[in-house]
A and B are shown apart, each in its own frame.
Chain A
Amino acid sequence: SAVISQKPSRDICQRGTSLTIQCQVDSQVTMMFWYRQQPGQSLTLIATANQGSEATYESGFVIDKFPISRPNLTFSTLTVSNMSPEDSSIYLCSVARGSSYEQYFGPGTRLTVT
């Protein structure tokens, strides 16, 4: 497993602003992912954060709205840009090692946009 921390744990933001969420892992991992979890909905993958290259986005998510950085093997950030109330959700970071299919999740960031 891995110990994963996220900052901030929660935030309330104004419409039109941006928020950057940080994800830190206690050891090097191959893969890092960002998910969104809306109330009553399943986890939705936003993108895979690739170390040293651009993130790989899933259908329906674009880099301009959700820019991602991954400067090294233990850290990644997700920015939610130009926020609207529809972006209110829990944002989760997860990691996987090597070719493992097992993902380990951080505690999440609870975002409310007013």
Chain B
Amino acid sequence: QKEVEQDPGPLSVPEGAIVSLNCTYSNSAFQYFMWYRQYSRKGPELLMYTYSSGNKEDGRFTAQVDKSSKYISLFIRDSQPSDSATYLCAMIPGGSYIPTFGRGTSLIVHP
């Protein structure tokens, strides 16, 4: 079992839909949780960063961490075609600075 599991998709939704992207993990030492967005032929771009459990909102994006279930989510409201990209979750254990990445979920938002 991999430390971080992420469904590669693709996930196809109509414009305006609410998108839910998820990762599960097995290492209870993970303390820091991140979401990156990667457009085709570009490097990953940091979207959201949270520490421990709870929610964090930034515009149309909400990151949610449930440490008891070892489950994190990224919600995108009012999705746009420009949101079409691969979304990678990443997690770092306490005392480290090295993230473990998920495989990424490909999101397609069609007009």
Contacts and interface: CB of A to CB of B under 8 A. Distances in A.
Given A92-B43, A101-B32, A107-B42, A42 B4 contact: yes
Interface stretch (B12-20, B56-64, B95-103): B95-103
Interface string B1-33: 000101010000000000000000000000010
A99 B97 CA distance: 8
Interface residues of B, number: 24
A105 B45 contact: yes
A41 B103 contact: yes
B49 A101 contact: yes
A40 B43 CA distance: 15
A43 B34 contact: no
Q: Which of B41, B44, B98, B102 has the most CB of A within 10 A?
A: B44
Interface residues of A, number: 23
Contacts of B36: 105
A27 B8 CA distance: 35
Given A41-B103, A42-B103, A43-B101, A105 B34 contact: no
Contact of A45 (B34, B98, B102, B104): B98
B49 A102 contact: yes
A31 interface: yes
A31 B46 contact: no
Contacts of A108: 41-43
A55 B23 CA distance: 31
B65 interface: no
A102 B99 CA distance: 9
Interface of A: 1, 4, 31, 40-43, 45, 48, 58, 92, 94, 96, 99, 101-108, 110
